[in-house]
Amino acid sequence: MSEKEKRTVDVAAAQMLDKAQEIGFLTTFDRAKAQEPRCTFGNTGICCRICIQGPCRILPKKPGGNKGICGAADYTIVARNTVRYIAGGASAHSDHGRHIAETLLHVAEGKLKDYQVTDPDKLMRVAKKIGVETEGRSVDDITKDVANAALDEFGRMHEQDLTWITSNCIDSRLAVLHNTTIMPTNINLSIAQLLHQTHVGNDADPVNIIFGGLKTALCDYDGMALATDLSDILFGTGVPVVTEANLGAIKADKVNIAVHGHNPLLSQMVVKAAREMNDEAKAAGASGINIVGICCTGNEVLTREGVAIATNFATQELAILTGAMDAMVVDVQCIMPSLRSLAECYHTKIVTTMPIMKIPGSYHLAFDEHHAIDSAKEIIRLAIDAYKNRDAAKVSIPDVKSTVVAGFTLESLLNIFKKVNPDNPIRVLIDAIEAGEIKGVALFAGCNNLKGPHDYNHLTVAQELAKNDVFMVATGCAAQCFGKEGLLNGEGVQKYAGEGLKKLFARLNEKAGLTTELPLVFHMGSCVDNSRAQELVTLMAKEMGLDNAEVPYVATAPEAMSEKAIAIGSWNVALGNPVHVGVVPPIVGSTLVNDIVTKIAEDVFGGFFFWETDPVKAAGKMVEILEERNWKNRIRA
Ligand code: MSK
């Protein structure tokens, strides 16, 4: 691999990185290089910064150095550091869910004019699932009860298992969560207790700390599951859409606005307002308004509105480098502070919108749900004004993009299966497994991590699994990589799928009734929509009469980066799923803790982590896991 290839496999990104070099702008790729070599203590998790006597590092050869100043051993330090990542991730996902739940409640109370219940069928399904009475009641009353049930997850004072966990899991899995005492009853309480548990002079037992972490990881799951359900109720449950992905989706003749972050409350409004404001853009000399997405708010509006993907996490700066990005509207999570300094070289307006996410020097427009459409229009007018200052000489948009077929919520995926098996849609997948056509299902989740070439691990693991007849679903920045690289369309199937997988696709395509062929990888949505994938595996478990830990299903985060990715991986393990991580996390500094999460976890939960930076080897191991589960199921039958 040449030095240039080591940066990214994305051709459009490579062109923009060359441009950055030409103009002397240092991107996240340069900053990642500047961080090398990494500090071994931090890199392996044996640096403790929990109290300010530290930082303490584990120095085994120095007398007195094999423990922190308080006496914390490597296993305590590593366990504490690890679960604090989970607390960060669970806070982010659950706070996102809480914001959606509050908005839904205010809709039902008639306090918000710009939002409404868009999908009453989903409302009824969710109400029934969580035990809210629907018979003879108004939509508003049911909505209030569903929203209040979601808000109750955050702060109820009585002991009651979290509703979105109990209503989404099968009994055998709930028994595992109870037997290991990790079933949470209150999201905020679990996060607070975990921070307390890991305070200096508190819990030193690595097993107990890890179990506290898993309990909080389940709160991450609960927060994202309710965020998915309530967002579908508010904005609709996605159906298959055709659009495009990569920097080539930015249009030179249009006012370009990127929506970036995670929360759909504003981005949905921006999309809606933009459709009404094309004339204003035309009056400014553009041919219209073009909205594109970055990171998961992009995935949200892709799923429901067919908005194109500009790029994913590691290459977010490069959208500005095209010189044609007029405004980037950001909400929460995964937004690089460096966007502002790059925007200074161009006419681009960076607009922060949330009270907990501001960037010095950027434009802050406090988003207010009570005036959501007005806020969105104000942002669009800012972009139109910025467009007037665009310097045509600085515009260079890579002519690179791929067709994307997305919108595969669980409902829309099952609707396709229903065309093949109207009575029992999930059987389509299981029949294909039992017939040996496919080996099982893999979920791709997670970010970009510049410890390796951008998008390389995602792409290689997917190509290898496709060749080995694995049915694939994806979320987050992994899904966006596949969009850019042509795996979210039918050509991907022809190019990469093995014979068994091709047979399944032929059957599905024949009956699907879509205007286009189904994609090699099914885009299931944003980070919070990993809950959709978990619903899929649970449905398979029910139909197969198995526990989740026996279903031929694996999860992978080939380029995991964020605290949220660590939380997602952890609840996957607790719910019985094997989880591949394509970077070595800062956990290997303690053999004990590393063994707990990679080996002992399997005995307790059926799920476990494994680290493998080589994507070919990682895919090989994932295939082995699926084959082993199938083999055991055949023996059981
Ligand atoms: S945006 S959490 S970099 S997937 Fe959800 Fe991408 Fe990871 Fe952020």
Q: pLDDT tens digits, residue range 461-507? A: 999 999 999 999 999 999 999 999 999 999 999 999 999 999 999 99
CB 74 within 8 A of CB 616: no
Contact call for residues 506 and 514 (beta carbons, < 8 A) = no
Distance of CA 476 from the midpoint of ligand 1 (Å): 5
CA distances from 56 to 36, 73, 197, 450 (A): 21, 11, 19, 27
Cβ atoms 583, 560 nearer than 8 A: yes
What's the angle, vertex CA 518, arms to CA 513 and CA 520, rounded to 5? 165
Q: Could you tell me which of 284, 282, 286, 280 has the C-alpha nearest to residue 251?
A: 286
Architecture of domain 247-394: 3-Layer(aba) Sandwich (3.40)
Residue 491: predicted pLDDT: 97
Q: Is the dihedral of CA 151, 152, 156, 159 positive or negative?
A: negative
- Are both 74-235 and 247-394 of the same fold? no
Q: 182: which 2 tokens?
A: 């990790």
Residue 34 in this model has a pLDDT that exceeds 90: yes
Residue of 477, 481, 563 best suited for mutating to test ligand 1, as the one with most atoms within 8 Å of CB: 477
Token match 């200096």: residue? 200
3 state SS of 440: strand
CA distance 471 to 467: 10
Percent of the chain with pLDDT over 70: 100
Beta strand pairing call for 363-364 and 56-57: unpaired
**What residues contact 175, with CB distance under 8 A and at least 6 apart?**
none
Q: In whole angstroms, give the CA distance from residue 354 to residue 476.
A: 21
Tell me the domain boundaries of the chain.
11-57, 74-235, 247-394, 402-636
Residue 231 has pLDDT above 90, yes or no: yes
Picking from 279, 236, 16, the residue whose alpha carbon sits closest to that of residue 118 is 236
Q: How far is CA 633 from the centre of its chain?
A: 30
Residues whose CB is less than 8 angstroms from the CB of residue 247 and which lie 6 or more positions away in sequence, other chains included: 12, 13, 16, 310, 311, 318, 319, 322, 397, 398, 400, 401
pLDDT of residue 283: 98
Using the Cα atoms of residue 430, residue 431, residue 434 and residue 440 in order, give the sign of their dihedral.
Answer: negative
Alpha-carbon distance of 194 to 211, in angstroms, equals 10
Residues 38-58 have pLDDT tens digits of 999 999 999 999 999 999 999
What's the pLDDT score for residue 3?
Answer: 78
The two tokens of residue 539 are: 């449905």
pLDDT at 383 over 90: yes
The per-residue pLDDT for 221 is: 98
pLDDT tens sequence across 504-552: 999 999 999 889 999 999 999 999 999 999 999 999 999 999 999 999 9
Q: Which amino acid is at 483?
A: G
Residue nearest to atom 3 of ligand 1 (CA): 447
- Name the residue of 313, 357, 449, 559 whose CB sits within 8 Å of the most ligand 1 atoms, as the mutation to test its pocket: 313
Interacting residues of 600 by C-beta distance below 8 A, sequence separation 6+: none
C-alpha gyration radius of the chain = 24
Largest CA distance in the chain: 75
In the chain, the amino acid numbered 282 is: K
Atom of ligand 1 at shortest distance to CA of 564? 2
- Nearest C-alpha to atom 8 of ligand 1 is from which residue? 334
Quick one: pLDDT at residue 5? 79
Instruction: Say which residues have a Cβ less than 8 Å from residue 452's Cβ, sequence separation at least 6.
Output: 559, 582, 583, 613
| Mean pLDDT (the chain, rounded) | 97
- Using the structure block, give the residue that is written with the tokens 């006496």: 71
Question: What's the pLDDT score for residue 130?
Answer: 98
The whole-angstrom separation of Cα 268 and Cα 167 is 28
Q: How far is the CA of 526 from the centre of ligand 1 (A)?
A: 8
Domain covering 402-636 assigned CATH 3.40.50.2030 in the classification: yes
Phi-psi region of 487 (alpha: psi -120 to 50; beta: other; left: phi over 0): alpha
Contacts of residue 30, Cβ cutoff 8 Å, sequence gap at least 6: none
Residues with CB under 6 A from ligand 1: 262, 295-296, 313, 333-334, 446-447, 476-477, 526-527, 561-562, 564-565
The residue whose C-alpha atom lies closest to atom 7 belonging to ligand 1 is 447
Does the 74-235 domain belong in CATH 1.20.1270.30? yes
In this structure, the strands spanning 289-294 and 440-444 are unpaired
CA distances from residue 317 to 167, 291, 296, 337, 339 in whole angstroms, order as listed: 40, 16, 16, 10, 6
pLDDT in tens, 87-143: 999 999 999 999 999 999 999 999 999 999 999 999 999 999 999 999 999 999 999
Distance of CA 545 to the CA centre of its chain: 29
pLDDT higher than threshold 90 for residue 636: no
pLDDT of amino acid 4? 79
Residue 283 makes CB contacts below 8 A (sequence gap 6+) with none
CA of 89 to the centre of ligand 1 (A): 11
Looking at residue 71, its pLDDT comes to 98
Buried b (16+ CB within 10 A) or exposed e, 273-287: bbeebeebbeebebe
31 residue type, one letter: R
Q: Specify the residue for token string 């590593």.
A: 78
Q: In whole angstroms, what is the distance from residue 324 CA to residue 396 CA? A: 8
Which is the closest atom of ligand 1 to the Cα of 478?
A: 4
What whole-number distance in Å separates Cα of residue 507 and Cα of residue 186? 45
How much distance in Å is there from the Cα of 315 to the middle of ligand 1? Answer: 12
User: What pLDDT shows up at residue 138?
Assistant: 98
For residue 133, the model assigns a pLDDT of 98
How many CB atoms neighbour CB 584 within 10 A? 14
Helix axis angle, 530-544 to 427-434, nearest 10°? 60
Average pLDDT over residues 298-315: 98
Q: Are 103 and 112 in contact (CB under 8 A)?
A: yes
> How is the beta sheet containing 402-406 ordered, strand by strand?
363-364, 349-352, 327-330, 255-261, 289-294, 308-311, 241-245, 402-406
Determine what percent of the chain is predicted with pLDDT higher than 90.
97
Q: What is the pLDDT of residues 159-214, one digit of tens each?
A: 899 999 999 999 999 999 999 999 999 999 999 999 999 999 999 999 999 999 99
Q: Is the peptide bond before 578 cis (omega within 30 degrees of 0)?
A: no
Please report where in the chains the tokens 């589960």 appear, as a residue: 629
Centre of ligand 1 from the C-alpha of residue 449, in Å: 10
Which atom in ligand 1 lies closest to the alpha carbon of residue 448? 3
β-strand 241-245 against 402-406: which pairing, if any? antiparallel
